[in-house]
Amino acid sequence: MKSTLEQALQEAVTKLLLNIDTNDTPRVHLTRSKADGHGDYACNIAMVLARCLKQKPSDIATNILFHVQWPAEVCKTEIAGPGFINIHLKAASEANILCSIVAQGVQYGNQHVTSPQKICIEFVSANPTGPMHVGHGRGAVLGDSLVRLLQTQGHDVQREYYINDAGGQIGVLACSVWARIKELQGQAVVFPEGGYPGLYIVDIAREILISHPFKTLLKMPENERMTLLADLAVSKNMTLIRADLARLNIHFDLFFSERQLHESGAVNTLIQRLQDDNLIFNGILPPPKGKSVSDYTPQVQPLFKTTSFGDDVDRPVIKQDGTPTYFAADIAYHYDKHGRGFDRMIDIWGADHGGYVTRVQAAVEALTGLQKQPDVLLVQMVNLTRNGQPVRMSKRAGTFVTLEEVVREVGADAVRFNFMTRRAETQFDFDLEQAKLQSNENPVYYVQYAHARIYAVLRKAEAMNVRRIAATDCDLSLLVAKSEQALIAQLLGYPGLLQKAADRLEPYRLTNYAMQLAAGFHTFYHQCRIIQDNTALVHARLLLAEAVAQVLHNTLNVLGVSAPEKM
RNA sequence: GCGCCUGUAGCUCAAUCGGAUAGAGCAACGGACUUCUAAUCCGUAGGUUGCAGGUUCGAUUCCUGCCAGGCGCACCA
């Protein structure tokens, strides 16, 4: 209906502009009217045209209305405010959407974009040195919902996890585990400086001792032992991480190992290629600004000319000891993704990596010519509090609340929904005690309750032997109550909302929509009794309720939240 | 010092790529269960959209400058 109206208006505008010398015809864009009394749709085209036509918007609107050929459903139009064209439709003229919703079921709202893309979304990528904390959880929930959201638009989307299983931190991990193993054997140990003090390391140590006797470990050469311990610890941590993710119903298509990238020679090959392309030169980096670095010494080292692609300074790709930097591996990783045929890469990082975006994009552009790739979504910090008191989150201190604990306390649905109630770029104050309250303060229950409530009514109808008729046989013109009209309008908006959320990579919009739709249903529920004497009205209202349940289900599904039929 | 993010009701957040009277929830107050799930609904109250300019028919939205908070700033990952 919306596009039909837009087309009608567009034709009128084109006619209007026939005699006028203009370069381009602005596109007509209809919006749903917000306020009561403004009709069903509103159009601002007259105001848009005001400048180039140099006429008053209200006069232009009058002219447009003179030319336009409306479809039969339009019952009234008016010019309001500064020049809006408000369109009123005949009552319930769009109610047949309910039939489509029920017929399309879980597919309602989905579409197939004209040019589907192969998209790789990399998210979480928590270091395999310990359990995930709440901040990781936010990124995890965002990434997974984003995958689901882009899939509704017909894209081919994959979930990818980049395992940082190389570098110094893995050595530290191995040392920490070894210290705990010796401790468990009753040896007095000095815990390594900067090691991971968390108790989970003790668990890992204990597990390793079961499969690898202490004597055997002791006999091994230092190098060999540390490599083995690192492998085992990483593997066990990844098992924990996968379990944490599974608890949130998140499953990755690929876990990509950084170490593999080094061992396969991909990183060195890449550095060689950069050298061949004259993108690397020997230079001296200036001292970092604003951060006191006591041991800064100017030195000549190989630098990647990222400044040629928009970066602030050139970046080192090889460390003093001759091994590649993390950055080098990361470039190789993104280059690999590109090689695997992804049209688009989306990375979800923590806000503390914000300074890293430009250099990766610069590198990707240098290598592939793609601009602004990857798309990086920076997830701001989660400030975890307990009864208003801040809880420190630090792997190093070993005193963090793990994601697992939170999911156990609050439940996966509540964690997923709550994390998606805010935009990614806003900081999130997440209070453990408040999130544990399973009351109406928790929006997820509000939405799920609406869904369960509909099913209660459907069960009731069945119990009362209300014989259902085909959706297309329902007399939907009976749905004229204010709350019924409002619900239908909300349901009509769902596909557009999905598309918008997908275009902007903003799944949080779905939580807002779900809450509004649930509110719309609760209002309807109180205002209009579904099961009553008028059989035709019962049929129409049951169909409406069913459609609402379907759309709630679809919305929650994109958010990865369950839609219970009973609560 | 520089870069990125944020600033809206007492609190937590919305506001459809610049639209009409800036909306919800919580907290406060007053109502609604002999009837489909009261985990709900209805009503009242609550605002100089951080500050100051600019752009135009029109600004929470865009631009500039300030203020406040968060994150980051070589040879770590």
pLDDT at A439: 60
Q: Which nucleotide is nearest to A54 (CA to C1')?
A: B57
Q: Which nucleotide is nearest to A532 (CA to C1')?
A: B36
Domains within chain A, CATH numbers bracketed: 2-89 (3.30.1360.70), 168-247 (no CATH), 441-558 (1.10.730.10)
A289 touches strand B (CB under 7 A): yes
Range A58-85 burial, b when 16+ CB lie within 10 A, else e: bebbebbbeebebeebbeebebbeebbb
Q: Which residue has the tokens 């006429």?
A: A55
Beta strand segments in A356-474, E: 375-379, 382-386, 389-390, 428-431
Q: At what angle do helices A535-559 and A134-152 cross, to 10 degrees?
A: 120
Nucleotides in chain B with any atom closer than 7 Å to protein CB: 1-7, 12-17, 19-21, 24-27, 35-42, 56-58, 69-77
Tell me the pLDDT of chain A (567 aa) as tens digits: 888 888 888 888 888 777 666 666 777 888 888 777 788 888 888 888 877 777 778 888 888 888 888 888 898 898 888 888 999 888 778 888 999 999 999 999 999 999 999 999 999 999 999 999 888 999 999 999 999 999 999 999 999 999 999 988 999 999 999 999 999 999 998 888 888 888 899 999 999 999 999 999 999 999 999 999 999 999 999 999 999 999 999 999 999 999 999 999 999 999 999 999 999 999 888 888 776 666 788 888 899 999 999 888 999 999 888 899 999 999 999 999 999 999 999 999 999 999 899 999 999 999 999 988 999 999 998 887 776 667 765 544 445 678 998 898 888 999 999 999 999 989 888 877 777 666 656 789 899 999 999 999 999 999 888 888 888 889 999 998 889 988 999 999 999 999 999 999 999 999 999 999 999 999 999 999 999 999 999 999 999 999 999 999 999 999 999 999 998
Tell me the C-alpha to C-alpha distance, in Å, between residue A387 and each of A179, A390, A421. Answer: 36, 8, 20
A50 touches strand B (CB under 7 A): yes
A99 touches strand B (CB under 7 A): no
Inter-residue contact A152 to A498 (CB < 8 Å):
yes
Q: Which nucleotide is nearest to A169 (CA to C1')?
A: B77
Q: Which nucleotide is nearest to A455 (CA to C1')?
A: B37
Inter-residue contact A155 to A116 (CB < 8 Å):
yes
Cβ atoms within 10 Å of A369's Cβ, excluding its own: 9
A533 touches strand B (CB under 7 A): no
A130 touches strand B (CB under 7 A): no
Measured at the alpha carbon of residue A441, what is the angle toward residues A435 and A444, in degrees to the nearest 5? 75
Rounded to the nearest angstrom, the gap between the alpha carbon of residue A439 and the centroid of all alpha carbons in its chain is 26
A269 touches strand B (CB under 7 A): no
Query: In sequence order, which ranges of A160-257 are alpha helices (DSSP H)?
Result: 168-184, 200-211, 214-219, 222-247
A395 touches strand B (CB under 7 A): no
Q: Which two tokens stand for residue A85?
A: 């064209």
Inter-residue contact A236 to A180 (CB < 8 Å):
no
A339 touches strand B (CB under 7 A): no
Measured at the alpha carbon of residue A175, what is the angle toward residues A172 and A181, in degrees to the nearest 5? 145
How does strand A84-89 pair with strand A375-379? Answer: unpaired
A512 touches strand B (CB under 7 A): yes
**Å from A196 (CA) to B29 (C1')?**
53
Its pTM stands at 0.93
Q: Which two tokens stand for residue A214?
A: 């202490």
Measured at the alpha carbon of residue A59, what is the angle toward residues A55 and A60, in degrees to the nearest 5? 75
A55 touches strand B (CB under 7 A): no
A394 touches strand B (CB under 7 A): no
pLDDT at A396: 46
The whole-angstrom separation of Cα A415 and Cα A12 is: 50
A137 touches strand B (CB under 7 A): no
**Å from A392 (CA) to B52 (C1')?**
38
